[in-house]
Structure 1
Amino acid sequence: MKKITPFMNIVQTLLSEEEVEAVVQAVGYHDKGKKFTVYTLFQFLTHAAAREWESYRAGVDRAILCGLPSVNYSTFSKKAADVPYEVFKRLFEIVAAQCNRSTRRKLRIPSALLLVDSTTITVGQTRLPWAVFHGKRSGVKLHVAYDASANLPAKVVETVATKHDGPMGEKLANPDFIMVENRAYGKIERFDTYATQQQYFVIRIKENMTMTTHRSLQRQVVEHSNVTRDITCRLGTEQCRSEKRHRVVFFQDDHGNEIRVVTNLLHLSAEQIAAIYKARWGIEVFFRWIKQHLNVSRLFGTTENAVYGQLFAALIADVLLQWLYNSTQPFIMKCKSLALVSFVRLFLLGQLSPEWRVAISLLLDRCKLSINPIIG
């Protein structure tokens, strides 16, 4: 591979071949490939996501242009089905941890927000017979904990599409963050558990949720506030009622619709609670981004290894591109600033302006000097 493309340079800087091999050994996979190794597959799959390849066949046809070796598409397919997807999941966790630390920004909210939600990728039923969803569709689901202060996913759990969101949300809980979730995670027992475990949360509740023993909280009048009520109460009916009293904030969205969220944050104003829940839109933007620009909706393979391996490789590509943009954009003059979509397009084409290229070069030089071996 004589040609080193800008994206390949990023990949090789943050994850060397030796580091990937260490993960492969830790998983217990014996890599028999000499020409098409796991590291080569890793580069193929991350390029496939970043450059939106349509299939294995389309990928190998374009591989040489990206500096990747020329192989038959069946080799690509067989390798993807054979390598345990746990390899790519661990690589994602390593890269996410590395990049989240370096791009964390200070929000106006006192604590960091962890936005929790899921997205479903569906295909025809015959494509994934092990993941039948409903009707004539099969599908898998990615349950994501998204770090709002870094604009990057922090943790991801993969399941079939029929898996309910609520229990998976508990696996993504982190006491270092305020968890922000929609109605799918609103279960009374969960609210009590989080309150006992001192896990801060802001979770939307359904309109038909019963509330008893109301007590209004005193608050300062804020001009143009969208908050309509701020109370504490017990949630649920006699058959299923919360053991603890919880705070419920009522506010209106931009369209005048009422939203009710339950929280155990008593030290923040009702307006801050409303702002925290509105920040949940960040994870929706993330899901739209990876589906529109990283090709996650087009699954190449049919086995668990191929499907989940492709998805985690796409998430790695997303983290790398977002990290690169977030880390260099503050050093660019406003007149040369770019939106993320334009930045990614020009970066992959190798057509960024000199200001951006210099900032990226300096960033990579710092990484080569300061990043210790990630594995070990």
Structure 2
Amino acid sequence: MNKYTPFLAVFKQVLTPEEVQMVTGQTKDYVDRGTKMTVGLLLDYFVQACYHKWDGFRQSARLGPNFDLPEIHYSTLSGKAGEVPYEIFKRIFQLLVKKCNRQTRRHLNLPKDLLLIDSTTVTAANSRMPWASYKKFRGGIKLHVALSQGQRLPVNVEESIAKRNDAPFGEVLADTDYILVQDRAYGKISRLDQYVLQGQSFVIRLKDNLHLVKPRNLQRPAEGETEIVRDMTCYIGQGKCQSAQRHRVVEFENDRGEVVRVVTDLRKESAHVIAEIYKARWEIEVFFRWIKQHLNVPCLFGTTENAVYSQLFVALAVYVLLRRVYDEIHPNVPAFAQLTLWEFMQHWRIFSLPLEWQVQLSLLRNKSILGIISIP
């Protein structure tokens, strides 16, 4: 891998054409009958369009041959994107996530990594997404994401139209191998009791109007910089909606001086650590902002459900591999040559990576990308 190695070549080394064919062949009710315009070629075009920020099928068809892609008419691209079930690209994304999974140092010395759960909305003119009507003149879809705080990678993603409520997806994305960190949209009282019974650790913000019944203060020494207002156990809610179990609730002030109230099953950690865990949820907001700014996510090419979701799952797959390669190289580059993820991507696009990064990329090839990325 030298300074002229394109990103698509790395993508195809990690996720081989044979694996793409395997995933396609496992899809019910769909047979890829294309001879030239295949699912694999559509994936290549989506990867390049996302990585180079092309603005639609027309520009993709025009610029594709400049990046070693076969010449294809834009209408053929559009037709194929609308035809191929987006579940294929969703499974391709999931396969890439498994390959890029790695052990990370635990944040705050916790026994489990944090799983940050939230959603982001992508909108377009109502005429472009009539199947996902959102507001008066806008259509919209949501990506519900579970982001590993340690790896800074999405480990699971579910799609829906924008009108769907976030709360049910909190359960779908839950994983007992992690500590869930969620905003108040996911704080359903019955679900808190269920998580405790399932052994699912969590730190979830409570709505301000929820009643706390029979509070009992916990006497613990203050530590850390966060201003802790109260640390207690109590029942949550009232009447038929009251929790069946006592839960620990921590109240603290955020950076704006507002009191934030979170519920958790963690009993041994200090209130300061609980507050820091919830503050880590901001990283998923940074992730959403990053993919929207740098991976062309808001610029939807197609108008069908298949085309829209396919493009978004490929964009997430591009982020996963880009982040994985960056995290492998970054610790080995001298401080004076450090780049941010965005700078790394920009330099790689135009083959202008600093020499220090080129050397590490070459070493990465010598190790073999497939060798350093775990494959279950």
Alpha-carbon separation, structure 1, partners of 2:314 and 2:105: 25
Alpha-carbon separation, structure 2, partners of 1:131 and 1:182: 24
Aligned counterparts, 1:44-123, within 5 A: 44-101=45-102, 104-110=104-110, 111-123=112-124
Alpha-carbon separation, structure 1, partners of 2:316 and 2:261: 32
Aligned match of 2:350: 349
Q: 1:373 to 1:71 in 2, by over 3 A?
A: farther
- Unpaired runs of 5+ residues, structure 2, are none
Aligned counterparts, 1:352-371, within 5 A: 352-368=353-369, 370=371
Alpha-carbon separation, structure 2, partners of 1:5 and 1:39: 20
Alpha-carbon separation, structure 2, partners of 1:204 and 1:373: 34
Alpha-carbon separation, structure 2, partners of 1:97 and 1:317: 14
Q: How many residues align?
A: 371
Aligned match of 2:14: 14
Q: Is the 8 A contact 1:142 1:158 kept in 2?
A: yes
Alpha-carbon separation, structure 1, partners of 2:193 and 2:285: 27
SS at match of 1:97: helix
Aligned match of 1:288: 289
Alpha-carbon separation, structure 2, partners of 1:372 and 1:268: 33
Aligned counterparts, 1:248-287, within 5 A: 248-287=249-288
SS at match of 1:254: coil
Q: 1:236 to 1:369 in 2, by over 3 A?
A: closer
Deviation at 1:100, TM superposition (A): 2.5
Query: In angstroms, what is the RMSD of aligned CA positions?
Result: 1.6
Deviation at 1:188, TM superposition (A): 0.6
Aligned counterparts, 1:68-217, within 5 A: 68-101=69-102, 104-110=104-110, 111-217=112-218
Alpha-carbon separation, structure 1, partners of 2:97 and 2:225: 39
Alpha-carbon separation, structure 2, partners of 1:106 and 1:180: 15
Alpha-carbon separation, structure 2, partners of 1:289 and 1:308: 18
Give deviations 1:52-98, integer Å, cap 9, x for gaps: 11100011111122221111101111111111111110010011121
Aligned match of 1:23: 23
SS at match of 1:133: strand
SS at match of 1:100: coil
Deviation at 1:273, TM superposition (A): 0.3
SS at match of 2:368: helix
Query: What one-letter code is carried by the residue in structure 2 that aligns with 1:267?
Result: K
Q: Is the 8 A contact 1:5 1:66 kept in 2?
A: no
Alpha-carbon separation, structure 2, partners of 1:175 and 1:369: 28
Deviation at 1:365, TM superposition (A): 3.3
Q: 1:368 to 1:344 in 2, by over 3 A?
A: closer
Q: Is the 8 A contact 2:108 2:273 kept in 1?
A: no
SS at match of 2:327: helix
Query: What one-letter code is carried by the residue in structure 1 that aligns with 2:198?
Result: Q
Q: Is the 8 A contact 1:125 1:136 kept in 2?
A: yes
Aligned match of 2:312: 311
Alpha-carbon separation, structure 2, partners of 1:281 and 1:338: 22
SS at match of 2:207: coil
Query: What one-letter code is carried by the residue in structure 2 that aligns with 1:90?
Result: R
Q: TM-score, normalised by structure 2?
A: 0.95
Give deviations 1:125-178, integer Å, cap 9, x for gaps: 111111111222111110000001100000000111111111011000000000
Deviation at 1:30, TM superposition (A): 1.5
SS at match of 2:31: coil
Deviation at 1:374, TM superposition (A): 5.8
Q: Which moved more, 1:26-35 or 1:170-179?
A: 26-35
Aligned match of 1:321: 322
Q: 1:105 to 1:36 in 2, by over 3 A?
A: farther
Q: 1:100 to 1:291 in 2, by over 3 A?
A: same
SS at match of 1:27: coil
Moved over 3 A (4+): 371-375
